[in-house]
Amino acid sequence: MSVLIDRETKVIVQGITGRDGAFHAKEMIEYGTQVAAGVTPGKGGQKTDCGVPVFDTMEEAVRATGANTSVIFVPAVFAADAVCEAADAGVSLVVCISEGVPVQDMVRVLPYLGERGTRLIGPNCPGIISPGKSKVGIMPGDIHREGPIGVVSRSGTLTYEMVYHLTRNGLGQSTCIGIGGDPVAGTNILDAMELFAGDEQTEALVLIGEIGGSDEEEAAAVIEAGYPKKVVAFIAGRTAPAGKRMGHAGAIVTGGTGTAAGKVAAFEAVGVEVAETPEEIAGIVKNLL
């Protein structure tokens, strides 16, 4: 099994004729993902270098291909509208790679998606991969291997580093979800944990958190209440100064809340071992299995 995507997932790339959309569409196809179509307004009727048909709208692309997933590579100013267009077209999963999307746009978009039953991953995220099955986004496929470890991360590059260490130590992954580091995101840590809780393939879960927000503390409460999977964690930003934004819009400590120390303490209080460095994760996971 896997979470959210598998070999049957059919993907539409919004912004496929742009530099990033074209490059990553090709990478997804080479990995084995079913990229059914692309969408760029005004360029319908064309085909990409990979032979993917381009449509003017999501409604046309979904009707022609039956795709159920969209991945968005458009400028931030257009990202919210692209997400809503995908939901209106009937796809069940939207992965928004675009960064710099205004928070107020996301506050408006999330209820809109909820009314239509569409799940969003992102924005400002690397996407999702189920090794050996499909990838939707920008994660490097060659470092992943199929296996029993689920990964949920607020950081893109830390996801890659953690996966590298897991794979190097013979620990494959069921699904890896990069949820992004923005303060308002479509899928948070708790949402992802719920998905993995019902996945038979996943035996243990690696949570990669960071300073800012309260997701990690809330995750600890879920674990204390009897979460069915074994969990290990890593918290980025231990040396970050209070009040200074660190890369991600959500990675900021304000008013004494959202600190790395507080998140580590919350996990350790419910028996979750927290790695001090990414290299330690694989050894901790091995001891759990």
DSSP assignment, residue 241? P
The CATH H-level superfamily of 140-288 is Succinyl-CoA synthetase domains (3.40.50.261)
CB 51: neighbour CB atoms within 10 A?
8
Count of all residues that appear for the chain in the document: 289
Q: Tell me, what's the pLDDT at 84? A: 98
Tell me the CATH number for domain 10-121.
3.40.50.720
Place of tokens 């928070």: 103
- Structural domain boundaries in the chain: 10-121, 140-288
SS3 content of the chain, % helix, strand, coil (to 5): 35, 25, 40
Angle at 80 between CA 76 and CA 81, to 5 degrees: 110
Enzyme catalytic residues? 248
Higher pLDDT, 230 or 211: 230
For the entire predicted model, the pTM comes to: 0.93
Q: Which contacts (CB < 8 Å, 24+ apart) does range 40-47 have?
A: 40/14, 40/15, 40/16, 43/17, 46/17
| Peptide bond just before 75 cis, omega within 30 deg | no
Q: Tell me, what's the pLDDT at 185? A: 93
Higher pLDDT, 35 or 211: 35
Place of tokens 């074209």: 22
Q: Tell me, what's the pLDDT at 260? A: 86
> Given a cut of 70, is residue 247 above it in pLDDT?
no
| Peptide bond just before 140 cis, omega within 30 deg | no
pLDDT digits (tens, 9 = 90+) for 95-150: 999 999 999 999 999 999 999 999 999 999 999 999 999 999 999 999 999 999 99
Q: Tell me, what's the pLDDT at 198? A: 94
Q: Are 154 and 182 in contact (CB under 8 A)?
A: no
> Given a cut of 80, is residue 254 above it in pLDDT?
no
pLDDT digits (tens, 9 = 90+) for 135-192: 999 999 999 999 999 999 998 889 999 999 999 999 999 999 999 988 899 999 999 9
Once rounded to an integer, what is the mean pLDDT over residues 230-259? Answer: 62
